[in-house]
């Protein structure tokens, strides 16, 4: 009896280790504040802002895992292997959020130092949730505009 319990426990622990290893990678967010940021030159701050913008643009498409995880989960109903492909740790979202906060902080330093920011895009970046909300609002506005346009084209013009 004790041997069966040990074997079962060993199998459960192996699966637990395997599942945690397959659930995605650990996030490695950058620090939002680095010592000496407030004393850096305008050029140094601008270079890092531009660098962060490039990294964020590259990382942004990878932040939404909902569709791929849903597909893996649906396939996992038939086979168990696709469940191991799901990414549940949201490392990209966490890293993007840290980059966004650092970016906005550096822009604050540029602003307080009255640096010339004509050659870079010096705009605060909203969080992913705020961006989604703004996109949904734009889509709703477009849908109402499309409905109005369809209604206007569907109504016959009065005869003269």
Task: Please state which of the ranges 1-10, 66-75, 98-107 shows the lowest mean pLDDT.
Answer: 66-75
Q: Does the pTM of the predicted model rise above 0.85?
A: no
CB neighbours of residue 46 within 10 Å: 20
> What H or E segment, with its residue span, contains residue 4?
helix 2-22
Tens of pLDDT, residues 90-119: 888 888 889 989 999 998 898 888 888 787
pLDDT band at 2 (very low <50, low <70, confident <90, very high): confident
- E strand map for the chain: none
Q: Which residue has the tokens 């989604």?
A: 132
Residues found in the chain: 160
Which of these, 94, 105, 100, lies nearest to 34 by C-alpha position? 105
Phi, psi (deg, nearest 5) at residue 114: 55, 45
């Amino acid at each position: 009896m004790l041997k069966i319990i040990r074997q079962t426990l060993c199998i459960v622990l192996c699966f637990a280790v395997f599942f945690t290893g397959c659930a995605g990678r650990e996030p490695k967010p950058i620090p939002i504040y680095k010592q000496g940021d407030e004393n850096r030159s305008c050029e140094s701050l601008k270079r890092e802002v531009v660098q962060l913008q490039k990294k964020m643009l590259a990382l942004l498409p990878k932040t939404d895992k909902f569709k791929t995880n849903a597909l893996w989960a649906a396939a996992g109903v038939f086979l168990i292997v696709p469940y191991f492909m799901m990414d549940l740790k949201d490392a990209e979202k966490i890293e993007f959020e840290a980059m966004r906060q650092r970016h906005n902080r550096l822009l604050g330093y540029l602003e307080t130092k009255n640096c010339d920011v004509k050659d870079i895009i010096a705009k605060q970046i909203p969080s992913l949730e705020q961006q989604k909300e703004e996109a949904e609002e734009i889509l709703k506005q477009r849908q109402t505009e499309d409905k109005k346009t369809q209604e206007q084209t569907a109504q016959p013009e009065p005869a003269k």
